[in-house]
Amino acid sequence: MSWNAPELVIAPSLLAADFARLGEEAGAIESAGADWLHLDVMDGHFVPNISFGPAVIKALRGSTRLPFDVHLMIEPFEPYIDLFVDAGAAGITVHAEATRHLDRALEAIRATGVKAGVALNPATPASAIENVLHRIDLVCVMTVNPGFGGQKFLPNSADKIASVKRLVGDRPIRIEVDGGITAETAPIARVAGADVLVAGSAVFGQEDYRKAIAALR
Ligand code: DX5
Ligand code: ZN
């Protein structure tokens, strides 16, 4: 997978797909022009919702060639990294709030050969990434409080994205936004500096996936 291309990545979140037909949904989103598949793993502890784990992700590997962008909303996450690597993740994003040892965790993720990302909850300042910039390939700015799809894009998100962009500078680090991304909010995120758009409801919640993805571009 080429990390710097395409310039704008659309990563539909499978959380909003039909859970009875996950394989088909993953295939359909690839045919519709998605760039990555975003996979939200929730444990009912770090976030107040439970989704799916590595076995489900591994089973999906046969349904699409899209890179798997795995977003871990679990605490602790350290004991499970190898399982998600084995499940076929191209990148693993962990929350800064879910560990005391972010530096060590990111080093461990990269050592497996997959891309390493850090996600920041809305209340976590952009500066949380300052001392790990040399260890990351992606920053995920949560533009809603994590746990559920279909929430509204938080209004102060643009400033946060811009702060992350200033810190990242011209390093080869992708800036992802996650939560409440629609055809209306995508341009706000883009202008502020985001180059990976995660979208659940705005894609899987629509009848025509191809049209929905095109609307986000
Ligand atoms: C929220 C998840 C998101 C979610 C986004 O905790 O991390 O990826 O699926 O859903 P929408 O796009 O509907 O806000
Ligand atoms: Zn997510």
* CATH code for the domain of 135: 3.20.20.70
Instruction: Tell me the average pLDDT across 72-80.
Output: 98
24 in a structural domain = yes
Which pLDDT band, with edges at 50, 70 and 90, does 1 fall under?
A: low
Is 1 part of any domain?
A: no
Average pLDDT over the chain, rounded to whole? 97
Question: What's the whole-number mean pLDDT along residues 174-200?
Answer: 98
Query: How does pLDDT run across 155-175, given as a tens digit for each residue?
Result: 999 999 999 999 999 999 999
Residue 16 C-alpha to ligand 1 middle, in angstroms? 8
Q: How many structural domains does the chain have?
A: 1
Q: Report every protein residue that has its C-beta within 5 angstroms of ion ligand 2.
A: 40, 71, 178
Mean pLDDT of the region 2-16: 93
Q: Which domain holds residue 70?
A: 9-216
Q: Is residue 4 in a domain?
A: no
* Nearest ligand by distance to the CA of 146: 1
In a domain, residue 2? The reply is no
Indicate whether residue 40 lines ligand 1 (CB < 6 A). Answer: yes
Residues ≥6 apart with Cβ < 8 Å to 2: none
Atom 4 of ligand 1: nearest residue by CA position: 149
37 within domain boundaries: yes
Q: Which of 40, 43, 69, 195 is catalytic?
A: 40
Radius of gyration of the chain (CA): 16
Using left for φ > 0, alpha for ψ between -120 and 50, and beta otherwise, residue 169 falls in left
**Cis amide bond preceding 6, omega within 30:** yes
Q: Please report the DSSP string for 3-15 in residue order.
A: TT-SSSEEEEBGG
**Would 3 be classed as within a structural domain?**
no
Q: Among this protein's residues, is 40 annotated catalytic?
A: yes
178 annotated active-site: yes
Q: How confident is the model at residue 4 (pLDDT cuts 50, 70, 90)?
A: confident
